[in-house]
Structure 1
Amino acid sequence: MTPTREQIRRAYIDACYIEIDALKPGNVHRFADGHRMSAEQFFDSAQASSHAVTDPLLTVGQRIFAAVKATRRKVETNTNLGILLLCAPLAKAAEAGVTDLRAALRSVLEKLGTDDAREVFAAIMLAQPGGLGSAPKHDVSTVPQVPLLEAMGEAADRDMIARQYVTGFADVFTGGLGAYRAAVDRGESGMWPVVFTYLYFLSSFPDSHVARKHGNPVARKTREDAQAILHRVEAIGDGREREKLLLAFDGQLKKANINPGTSADLTVATLFTFYLNLALHNDEVNA
């Protein structure tokens, strides 16, 4: 079926809300705020950005820029740039109504032009993400002269979100969805499939946001710590004991001002993809 705009919007909001409801060490979540941001700001950001992300009259670049502006008006800080960069093309792909969401997404990504690049560069400058720095080629502070996909390709080796653009969101469709479904299949419920999806990303790759702000050695150490935490959580059956372990890791990361924001963004994109697939394959979803 072809999902309606409201179904896509609700899938986006659900993905954002459910991610914030899960205990994700180092990030803002309902168990603990952090990094001078609150869970409420993320809930507000999801609502504020949802209309632009799903506006069928806008290009992908226009959606991202409009969503960043709406977010800034509502919460006056950058809460969701990475989420928007990932979810806007997914929303556009879902509008095609085809059952193969990834194939539709590839088509969307291949058609991204120079105008999309200009809108996205402007959105990044408006959002002012932490640790932005500069790049020798296609720096976001300049006016891009190449299509967005080419610009993302230049950053793909150092930025996990840019990498998704050039790989057709491979880490979302294989790793993220695989981790989520594996958790469900082994009987995890409530927030735990989301927690395991987040820990999959955090333990599999050095987080791009951490690397930008603190350097690659800290990002690699955070990944190694996450691998150890993941194995310990998998071995614990009691939910309260799991929460104690994750909250201790959460406090450790936040004390060091380490915010694995890219891992959280990829988790939202995974959830959004999961819900979009449900809508595309089930006529009863959100009816």
Structure 2
Amino acid sequence: MSHPRPARIAPPRTVFLQACRLDVAVRKPGNVSLHSAGHGMQARQFLDSAAAAAPALFTPGARVGARIEAAMAATLAVAGCNTNLGIVLLCAPLAAALERCAGSWNDDGDDERPSALRAALAQVLAELDVEDARAAYRAIAAANPGGLGRAEAQDVAAGPTVGLQEAMRLAADRDRIAHQYATGHADLFDTGLEALIRQAAPPRPIDAAAVQALFLAFVGRWPDSHIVRKFGAAVAQAVTDEAAPWLRRAENGEPVGDDPAFAAWDEDLKARGLNPGTSADLTVATLFIAGALGIADLSTFP
């Protein structure tokens, strides 16, 4: 798909904060939002976490592992719990890749920006070493994500002996965040970004319907790995099956959030303790990419 002519680009740190605000400003079933708290958390914790994590994520020249560890420490200090581990893991290498692209894009932009970012991201991921892995493992252990369990190789509790990308490759078949490290964030570019462009190509601004369609592009296609860790593959697949009809409606251009049944599904998932948190993380990271590339103006959302 040809990408739309980019808008004027805000600084990556600003775009990150805008993407994190959209995460809670829009109702996404099972996720915490300004519309509906859930899972013992409030939307304010997510906003505070984003503001706290941003300085570390966008420290010029910092290693990816150092960004992850410092961002999670700042998050836990203000939120008291894990609100954004997946977002931090996804966005830290993207932030480093964007630094490599800085100054190479003019204000008018062109269709080469996504491929240029992907190439820079591939370099960043390939250069991740064991120190990056150790820092990321410390961050993951501190965040203590639900259902982490034990792994046969490179377990978080034991500490890594390989680089971060290689460690993530070993977990890629069971964790969708790890899968992004193994594939150069392919889901974000090939599924998420394309879904967002179909929904919100200029001159249409980002709106709730576009964000919800993006979220459904993930949760309606693959079992959410956060749910898999906590409740098992069968429960996660059941949630994906529930999401699939909403995804079809969104792909047909329907503003699914206008249907009262969408809000009812949100509350039902929360009542069952089911949080498609990985799908939300993928959504935020895709919004970050779209804003950072100038494909979408995230500031247009109220």
**TM-score higher than 0.5 here?**
yes
Distance 1:119 1:189, change over 3 A: closer
Offset at 1:278? 1.3
**Structure 1 equivalent of residue 137 of structure 2:** 121
**Structure 2 equivalent of residue 219 of structure 1:** 236
Quote the Cα distance in structure 2 between the aligned partners of 1:115 and 1:236.
46
* Identity of matched residues, %: 44
Matched, 1:231 2:235: no
The amino acid that maps onto 1:33 is: A
Offset at 1:194? 0.7
Please report the TM-score for the alignment, with normalisation by the length of structure 2.
Answer: 0.87
Matched, 1:259 2:275: yes
Q: Describe the superposition over 1:55-112 as per-residue Cα deviations: whole angstroms up to 9, x where unpaired.
A: 0142000000000000011111000000000000000000012441111000000000
**Structure 1 equivalent of residue 76 of structure 2:** 72
The amino acid that maps onto 1:53 is: L
**Structure 1 equivalent of residue 288 of structure 2:** 272
Q: Describe the superposition over 1:102-126 as per-residue Cα deviations: whole angstroms up to 9, x where unpaired.
A: 1100000000000000000000000
**Structure 2 equivalent of residue 48 of structure 1:** 52
Unaligned runs of 5+ in 1: 1-5, 283-287
Quote the Cα distance in structure 2 between the aligned partners of 1:209 and 1:231.
23
> What is the DSSP-based 3-state SS (H/G/I as helix, E as strand, rest coil) of the residue aligned with 2:275?
coil
Q: Describe the superposition over 1:205-227 as per-residue Cα deviations: whole angstroms up to 9, x where unpaired.
A: 10000000000000111101000
Unaligned runs of 5+ in 2: 1-9, 105-112, 298-302
> What is the DSSP-based 3-state SS (H/G/I as helix, E as strand, rest coil) of the residue aligned with 2:294?
helix
Offset at 1:8? 1.4
Distance 1:153 1:41, change over 3 A: same
**Structure 2 equivalent of residue 20 of structure 1:** 24
The question of whether the paired residues in 1 share the 8 Å contact of 2:200 and 2:206 is answered with yes
Please report the TM-score for the alignment, with normalisation by the length of structure 1.
Answer: 0.91
Quote the Cα distance in structure 2 between the aligned partners of 1:185 and 1:61.
34
The amino acid that maps onto 1:249 is: W
> What is the DSSP-based 3-state SS (H/G/I as helix, E as strand, rest coil) of the residue aligned with 1:140?
coil
Matched, 1:203 2:220: yes
- Provide the aligned length of Structure 1 versus Structure 2: 275
Quote the Cα distance in structure 2 between the aligned partners of 1:178 and 1:139.
34
- RMSD between aligned residues: 2.0
Matched, 1:184 2:200: yes
The amino acid that maps onto 1:231 is: R
Offset at 1:248? 0.8
